[in-house]
A and B are shown apart, each in its own frame.
Chain A
Amino acid sequence: MTNQADPAASVIARAQSIVEDLTFAEVTRWKREHTGALAVGYMPVYVPRPLFEAIGCLPVAVFGGGDRTDIIRGDSYFQSYICHIPRSTIELALSGALAPLDGMIFPSTCDVIRNLGGMWKMLFPERYGAYLDLPQNLTPALGGRFYAEELRRIARELEARGARPLDAAALREAIAAENARRALIDELDELRRSKPWLLRASEAYVAVRAGTVLPVSEHVALLGELLAALTRREVRAYDNVRVVITGAFCEQPPLGLIRTLEKSGCDIVDDDLQLGLRMIEQPITVGADTDPLVALAEAFLKNGAATACRYIDKAVKGDALIAKVRAANAEGVIFTAASFCDPALLDQPMLERALTSAKIPFTSFKFAENTGQYQTIREQAGAFSDSVKLWGGTP
């Protein structure tokens, strides 16, 4: 199939160009169209985007420099045993690439992202920087109340810098828009599970990730366009192994690495790559008498995705991953953690034991966002997919 014949090619290419643009041209355009409005960057994994949209800000995910940035100054701020995303983020900031952003939010993903927030304040004291302490206590009256106060604080701080005051009606509207986006992402995910040949994981990845730098309305339009195009797409089905990849919820693997897995005989039928937009696993419901901010906070507590950077509380480690594998009818799991990623790598042995008990085969490797050599990964993933096909187990 040539690109000319592929009805989805242009929208996927547009999404990819947005993802690969380290100048944040879309943000600059949005700011030009919304004079005086603030664009607020944030580090992975999750911030509640509707809060920012409701006060007239554009939330913009910053995933570092990927494999398209030479790290010169960034390396001088971090020791060799610290993951890659903070050094490329510092590189982008010092080079001026983050200039379109009026501030940055650093959620409580891990100690590195947390400390990066402190570095931001020291390096750029004139620019807004805030730490967002997501609750690890998942009781609404405790963690929920604290979290709602955290969100109010950030809204107040941004209002002082020119954002609109937080307004319940605007927040309801933003939550509804986020729910609409989430429904479209669900449709894409379902399509990947039912017809993985029709939409490759690498294509879905760029389509979803593009939304992290766009206002929700534009992303809804893009996803709608893609879904419509896919109904007209004609692609041959392959007899690949169905796998779930997990562990790359923060620092992102290069697109080439995802494609390498696909080329090595794997249909990636589920993943946690763009967890930020999938963090809330159900529509956020706001009752007529409910404060929408409380609803937004409680959605995180009650329907937040299980991930290594969230406390497990009463749940059983591995249950969520096994459920994901079963729901996707996957035949195996590939652990893809970023090197030196404490949350993912500390979680992994527990998840591996759970998969072993459930007789689900798995393999694992580590990456950095600028990994450029894929051959060994291709061989490893190829051997894994072959072994699953031939024997239904790990090589």
Chain B
Amino acid sequence: MSGAAAASNVAQKDDSQRRQKEMIADHFAKLERAKEDGRKVVYTFVPGNLTELLRALDILPVLPEINALQSGMRGKSAGYIAEAEKAGHSEDVCTYVKCDLGMMLSGNVGPTGTKIPPPDLLLLSYTGCFTFLKWFELLKEAYKCEVAMLHVPYMPDGVVTPDMRRYVVDQLRDQIIPALERVTGKKLDLDELARRLALSRQAEDDLVAVWESARRRPSPIDGYFGGVYYIGPMFTAFRGTEEAVAYYRSLKAEVDERIAQKLGAQTPDGPIAQEKYRLVIEGPPNWTSFYDFWRMFSREGAVPVASTYTRVGGLYDTGFRHDPEHPLESLADYCLGCYTNLGLPSRVDLLERYIKDYSADGFLINSVKSCNSFSAGQLLILRELEKRTGVPGAFIESDLVDPRYFGKANIENRIQSYFQMLEARKEPTRAQPQSGSGSVA
């Protein structure tokens, strides 16, 4: 890292970060041209998204959460939230919703400056978040368009039961696919769907290899701040596409190259100089001060080696892969298994596994005001993880895209105190990896 770069606030980026940004910008450009190109547009959510199905019918997806977080990163969310609150929305509720509604009220110009077309259909994948229901009821009222609702049962015990799977499959077959066919005027080609699921599987294999590279020491990746770039194509519009396969293949090659060069994780200031603390992070990041937040970690030598936010759009490192042989069942299992659709005990189990498998020195919970699905119960998660692993946890509070709830000095103070504590007790508390995890020094 050059001195000039370190002193600059301009974030340095890997090729993969730049590539995914280009892919997303290109997607927004396609959305702007969708009507003139005769393509249908469906709004849907990240958890439980059915991108392969949409792509098989040549539909372009719009992900409102992605628009909101992109708006947050580009400094636009405060104004959008103010617009929504002026229109009567409570200060208490999810700021993703208010940011999205505010963007719509302001002309529906997306974060990259291109117009987002109105939806031909709202595909309400009700997966792991109650607010999704209300969000699309609000959009239904605004756009006066059809909603296809997929109720994905919650998994309180982390187990997909045959009844749950059947319920989702039956809804897909009897309601969701017919609605998409009606909107597009096309018949779903099951072979095309299977082909796209096979592409997803390839990309998922490479993504998991990237996640698991963080078991090494030093970790070649940042599994949280960097991780949100890695999941970009997978979470948004590209699952089941050749572009996603190419992206994840090149990302894996990039990470392999970092390993060969014994480079640590990429940070906004270049490769990390020294990996001092390995952390597991629970909860979404704050987007309005994303790089400030990241640097609070990277400049202290703290590397997030695994995170749960990067699993909300699909949990692949516990073994799930899309299966072209069983397309609808596979889509059902994907939806059911998204992180926020798991009961609290299963979330704790997963975090415990990450702490142990990734040889974490500590874990941090970023509790965001906007998201009760994530946040309710996190203080118990904190206690339970400390009890089970002996690894100390930290707890901070912020928000997704409302800058009023990011208290920089307070958060930085807490994080620095936490690192001082980790420094004082680093060696005795390092968790032992579970069998087969094998961190590589």
Contacts and interface: CB of A to CB of B under 8 A. Distances in A.
A123 B380 contact: yes
Nearest to B343: A118
B27 to A, nearest CB: 28
A146 B126 contact: no
A79 B367 contact: yes
A108 B152 CA distance: 12
B82 to A, nearest CB: 15
B153 interface: yes
A309 B126 CA distance: 13
A110 interface: yes
Contacts of B90: 337, 345-346, 348, 366
B88 A115 contact: no
Contacts of A78: 376, 379
B141 A135 contact: no
A365 B156 CA distance: 34
Interface in B347-362: 347-348
A311 B268 CA distance: 43
A149 B163 CA distance: 7
B131 A111 contact: yes
28 contacts: A78-B379, A79-B397, A81-B92, A111-B372, A112-B372, A114-B373, A115-B344, A115-B373, A118-B344, A118-B345, A118-B347, A119-B344, A119-B377, A130-B156, A135-B151, A137-B149, A139-B174, A142-B171, A149-B163, A153-B163, A311-B137, A312-B140, A313-B149, A345-B93, A346-B137, A347-B137, A352-B88, A353-B88
A84 B380 CA distance: 16
B13 interface: no
B131 A350 contact: no
A161 interface: no
B133 A136 contact: yes
Interface in B369-409: 369, 372-373, 375-380, 384, 397
Contact of A345 (B92, B130, B137, B153): B92
Interface in A349-371: 349-350, 352-353, 366
Contacts of A346: 89-90, 93-94, 97, 131, 134-135, 137-138
Contacts of B153: 133, 146
A131 B341 CA distance: 13
A86 B126 contact: no
Contact of A136 (B131, B149, B347, B397): B149
Contacts, number: 157
Contacts of A313: 149
A110 to B, nearest CB: 5
Contact of A122 (B88, B376, B384): B384
A345 B88 CA distance: 10
A30 interface: no
B350 to A, nearest CB: 13
Contact of A131 (B129, B156, B167, B174): B156
A173 to B, nearest CB: 27
B369 A142 contact: no
Interface string A61-88: 0000000000000001111011000100
A349 B131 CA distance: 14
Which of B133, B135, B150, B373 is the most central at the interface, judged by chain A CB atoms within 10 Å of its CB? B133
Contacts of B151: 135-137, 143, 311
B99 to A, nearest CB: 14
Contacts of B175: 137, 139, 142
Interface residues of B, number: 50
A86 B379 CA distance: 13
B344 A145 contact: no
A111 B138 CA distance: 18
Given A114-B154, A345-B93, A346-B93, 5 more contacts: A121-B344, A143-B151, A342-B131, A347-B137, A348-B88
A387 interface: no
Contacts of A77: 377, 379-380
A339 interface: yes
A332 interface: no
A44 interface: no
Given A111-B131, A137-B171, A118 B156 contact: yes
Contacts of A135: 151
B318 to A, nearest CB: 18
A82 B153 CA distance: 23
A195 to B, nearest CB: 35
A342 B141 contact: no
B129 A111 contact: yes
B134 A142 contact: no
Interface string A327-351: 0000000000101111101111110
A122 B346 CA distance: 10
A383 interface: no
Contact of B137 (A145, A149, A312, A342): A312
Contacts of B131: 111, 342, 346
Interface of B is mostly: helix
Given A133-B153, A348-B90, A79 B379 contact: yes
Contact of A121 (B138, B164, B345): B345
Contacts of A353: 88, 141
A153 B161 CA distance: 11
A83 to B, nearest CB: 9
A136 B126 contact: yes
A117 interface: yes
A116 interface: yes
Nearest to B395: A79
Contacts of A136: 126, 133, 149, 151
B14 interface: no
A389 interface: no
- A-B residue pairs, 10 tightest by C-beta: A118-B344, A346-B134, A131-B156, A115-B376, A349-B88, A146-B167, A345-B90, A111-B372, A115-B377, A111-B373
Nearest to A143: B151
B376 A342 contact: no
Contacts of B329: none
B343 A86 contact: no
B154 A133 contact: yes
A116 B372 CA distance: 11
A366 B167 CA distance: 37
Nearest to A117: B156
Contacts of A146: 153, 163-164, 166-167
A324 interface: no
Nearest to A311: B133
Contacts of A153: 163
Contact of B130 (A118, A122, A343): A343
Nearest to B94: A342
Contacts of B145: none
Given A111-B130, A131-B156, A342-B94, A350 B137 contact: yes
Contact of B138 (A130, A131, A350): A350
A303 B230 CA distance: 46
A141 to B, nearest CB: 8
Contacts of B156: 114, 117-118, 121, 130-131
A366 B134 CA distance: 19
Contacts of A191: none
Interface in B93-141: 93-94, 97, 126, 129-131, 133-135, 137-138, 140-141
A308 interface: yes
Nearest to A130: B156
Interface in B134-184: 134-135, 137-138, 140-141, 149-151, 153-154, 156, 163-164, 166-167, 170-171, 174-175
A312 B163 CA distance: 24
